[in-house]
Structure 1
Amino acid sequence: MGYELLEVGYAEGYATITLNNPRRRNALSLACMQELTAALREVGESSARGVILAANGPAFSAGHDFADMAEGDLEMMRKLLRTCTTMMNTVQEIPQPVLARVHAIATAAGCQLVATCDLAVASTEASFATPGGKGGWFCTTPMVALSRNIGRKRALEMLLTGDPIDAQTAADWGLINHVVAPERLEEEAMRLLSAATRGSFLSKELGKQAFYAQIEMPQPLAYAYAMEVMAAASQIPDAREGMRAFLEKRKPQFEERP
């Protein structure tokens, strides 16, 4: 399908979704979030092995577009935030690993989007913030993704102060995986995504979904769930092929992405 606020491209087995509304600093308007959800579902159904989420312009994303929201009533705001939550959940629901390639500032829901992605690589010129703590509207929904990445004290520091953190701090705190010089950003993003997508696609899909299912479970329930998933996954052809290849000391031949 055609998109007005983003671009979708495919190359060498990977998909790239690029936020492309630099005039609005890639704000997550209702229309943008609807398009991004549709694009994620499109690439989720494609033959791509992995997905890069990038952006054009001076910001990765400035978060929600207040032009959408300033006069919104309660029902309208609920609709907008439901749309945002659906978009965030879709990032984690599609089978492929999704990597955020962050070249510049990501704030509020833009920071939430980075935290939601499976992986993230940022330029040294990037920064991250949940600025609601400085204003009149706390970043409550961004808090969900943020606190699941960096822990309570660090999340509360960002949320309560609203102050930005630089890319190196984001890496140290676990919000992103790696930080590199701007000229190495695309190379490092592709290196990490390539590493994350090697091997069996189906095994990786099952593993990604199991990760998000178990991460908030109490440990006994998490083990019970993970044990059953792993036992069932041992019966798929790629698992059997991987075991045979190991024993036969040869390179495995996994099934292609359906």
Structure 2
Amino acid sequence: MTSRFTDRTALVTGAGSGIGRAIALAFAAEGARVVVAGRRREPLDETVRLIEDQGGKALAVTADVTRPEDAESMVRAAVDTFGSLDVAVNNAGVFRGGAPLADLPEADWRTQLDTNVTGVFLPLRAEIHRMRAQPSGGAIVNIASTFGAHTRVPGATGYAASKAAVSALTRGAALDHIGEGVRINAVSPGAVETPMSLRPGETEADREERARATLPLGRVSSTAEIAAAVLYLASDDASSVVGTDLVVDSGATA
């Protein structure tokens, strides 16, 4: 591994499992001090333990990304503990779907908008406030989805609308704040080896068989592959990449 993030502090939301945990572990492996945030303390503590077992430094912060005070507290905790906020990854998200839009309960619609859109906007705003006040600026990566700006499927219209908003939010914010030294991009995963990509009643073996038949690559992406894309965009290797939406989807939308 390289040490692209030595002496830098990274904040990752939704870091208690899945893609978020993989991203946090990847930053730590490349030298970052990592703040892991999420609603439930126990899985966050497990992420911290995994990082510390690698010899890294991490801090768990219990926070709800839909609450402005929690978004501010995550950033404040990073700065108070490690002295800066150099990288942020807004990964927390939920999926509520499986039915046509007309049959989607309003509560599910609101939950997706609250978490997937407002839950990106509030941390993003707090992160920008801090980063633009630092001489070194910072880099932010939002996790969108291929469902939304890139493709749509029946039964996921509400989710797609929320993730399309993340893509638009990313591009707009990138233009608003690159002049202040804050570089913002997005990663749009397709199917990944997490429970979210399992269809109702489907096993992991079933998913593998489906992927072989339907995805050009013949398999879903690993969480490590999504993390690698995030770290690229957050690193100095991508210093001229601004407002992009990087698709990582095994060729599904090619």
Q: Which bin holds the TM-score, normalised by the shorter protein?
A: 0.3 to 0.5
Q: When you count helix as a share of all residues, which structure comes out higher?
A: 1
Taking structure 2 as the reference length, the TM-score comes to 0.33
Max Rg structure: 1
Q: Which has the higher contact order (CA 8 A, sep 6+)?
A: 2
